[in-house]
Amino acid sequence: MKVGILGYGNLGRGIESAIRQNDDMELAAFFTRRDPASLKTLTPGVPVYSVNDIAAHKDEIDLLFLCGGSATDLPVQTPEYAKYFNVIDSFDTHARIPEHFANVDKAAKESGHVALISCGWDPGMFSLNRLYANCVLPEGNDYTFWGKGVSQGHSDAIRRVEGVKDGKQYTIPVESALEAVRAGKNPELTTRQKHTRECFVVPKEGADLNKIEQDIKNMPNYFADYDTTVHFISEEELKANHSGIPHGGFVFRTGVTGINKENKHVIEYSLKLDSNPEFTASVICAFGRAVVRMAKEGMTGCKTVFDVAPAYLSPLSGEEIRAHLL
C-alpha cells in the first residue's frame, strides 16, 4: 500500500521511521505547509509536495497519515482530506471527539473513504484496554495512570513562567497508589494521590528562584492540585539528561465475579516507552494498514480503534495469526 505523510514534526518523523518497519507499506509522498524545498526528510528519495497541491495526488495514495495537532490542525484537516483520501489522525481533545467524529464521518461517507480518528496510545491502546476490560468485568473500577513521562503541555507551562529560560516536566504515578490498585483494594484516589509532578528548570540569569518555584507550584490547573518538585539545573544538564520524550502509563480494571461476587480479578495493561511520538506513530501505522483493508472491503465513514477487528492490523494471514498468536 502507498502512503503519504502530512506534517513533519515529531509524529510525522515517527511515522516515517515506523513505515520502514512495515514491509507492506511504501512511503510515496510528504505533504507540508512549509516551502517543500525547505523540508529535509530522512527519506531523500520520496517527493515533498506543498499541501496546496494535495488533491492532485489523490489517486496515488492509499492512505494519508495526518500528523498535525489536535487544537487547530486536525479539526480542519481530517474532514477536509477525508474528501480525497483514506486518512488516520491522532485527535486527542477528549471533549471534542463527538463533534470531530460527526464532521469526519460526514466527509468520509460522502467521498467513500475510511477515516480513523483518535489513534495512538491514549486515546488508542489505552482506550482498547478500557473497553475490553469493562466488557469482561462489567462490575468493577477503572484506573488510568500516566508516566513516568514528559508532559508537553506542562513543560510549555513551565517555560511561560517569568524568569524561566527552559524546562521539562515529568508526570509520575504515585507508587503506593499503583500498589493499592494492583492489590485489588479499589482505593478512591484524589488527583494529588495519583500523580506527582517533577520539574527541571533552567532559570534565566539573575532570576528569583524562590519566586519561580512558587509560581510553578501554585499554577492553577497545571500544578496546584499536585505535589510538585522543582529542580534548578543548567542548560547543559537539561540537554544531556532531559532531551528524550519518554512516556507510558497504566490502565487497570478491577472487578468481581461469582454468584455472590466473591471472586476478585485485576486486569493491568502498561506501557514503558522511550519515545512517546515514535510509539504513537507505530500504533497509527498498524491501524493505517487496517484502514486501507477496510476501505478495500467497501467500508466508509469515520472509525475509531473500537471499530477495527484486530486481524486487520496484522500483515499476516488469518491462518498465520491463528497458528502463531492465538
Q: How far, in Å, CA of 29 to CA of 273, rounded?
A: 28
Task: Return the range that interacts with its own copies (CB under 8 A); candidates 68-76, 128-136, 202-210, 223-231.
Answer: 128-136
Residue reference for cell 461469582: 258
Selected binder of its own copies within 45, 98, 206, 298 (CB under 8 A): 98
Provide, rounded to whole angstroms, the least separation between the CB of residue 7 and its own copies.
17
Give the residue with the Cβ less far from its own copies, 20 or 160.
Answer: 20
Confirm or reject binding of residue 308 to its own copies (CB under 8 A): yes
Q: Please report how many Cα atoms fall inside a 13 Å half-sphere around the Cα of residue 242, on the Cβ side.
A: 24
Kind and range of the H or E run holding 252: strand 247-257
Which phi and psi (to 5°) does residue 56 adopt? -65, -15
Confirm or reject binding of residue 289 to its own copies (CB under 8 A): yes
Nine cell digits for residue 119: 489513534
Provide, rounded to whole angstroms, the least separation between the CB of residue 135 and its own copies.
4
Confirm or reject binding of residue 292 to its own copies (CB under 8 A): no
Cβ contact 207:164 at 8 Å: yes
Cβ contact 25:3 at 8 Å: yes
Provide, rounded to whole angstroms, the least separation between the CB of residue 116 and its own copies.
12
Provide, rounded to whole angstroms, the least separation between the CB of residue 163 and its own copies.
33
Selected binder of its own copies within 9, 237, 310, 317 (CB under 8 A): 310
Nine cell digits for residue 326: 492465538
Task: Enumerate residues 25-84 that contact its own copies by CB under 8 A.
Answer: 42
Provide, rounded to whole angstroms, the least separation between the CB of residue 112 and its own copies.
20
Give the residue with the Cβ less far from its own copies, 13 or 194.
Answer: 13
Selected binder of its own copies within 7, 14, 149, 167 (CB under 8 A): 14
Kind and range of the H or E run holding 203: strand 195-203
Count of residues for the chain? 326
Selected binder of its own copies within 114, 281, 292, 295 (CB under 8 A): 281
Task: Enumerate residues 178-197 that contact its own copies by CB under 8 A.
Answer: 182, 184
Provide, rounded to whole angstroms, the least separation between the CB of residue 322 and its own copies.
6
Please work out the total of residues on this chain that contact its own copies, with binding judged by CB under 8 A. 72
3-class secondary-structure state, position 169: strand
201-204: long-range contacts, CB 8 A cutoff, minimum separation 24: 201/158, 201/164, 201/166, 201/167, 201/230, 201/231, 201/232, 201/233, 202/164, 202/165, 202/166, 202/167, 202/232, 202/233, 202/234, 202/235, 202/238, 203/163, 203/164, 203/165, 203/232, 204/163, 204/164, 204/165
Provide, rounded to whole angstroms, the least separation between the CB of residue 235 and its own copies.
23
Give the residue with the Cβ less far from its own copies, 131 or 240.
Answer: 131
Give the residue with the Cβ less far from its own copies, 94 or 160.
Answer: 94
Selected binder of its own copies within 18, 116, 157, 158 (CB under 8 A): 18
Nine cell digits for residue 20: 520502514
Kind and range of the H or E run holding 177: helix 175-182
Task: Enumerate residues 252-271 that contact its own copies by CB under 8 A.
Answer: 257-259, 262-271
Query: Which of 114, 111, 104, 80 is closest to 300 using CA atoms?
Result: 114
Give the residue with the Cβ less far from its own copies, 155 or 282.
Answer: 282
Task: Enumerate residues 135-154 that contact its own copies by CB under 8 A.
Answer: 135-139
Task: Enumerate residues 208-237 that contact its own copies by CB under 8 A.
Answer: none
Give the residue with the Cβ less far from its own copies, 113 or 303.
Answer: 303
Nine cell digits for residue 126: 489505552
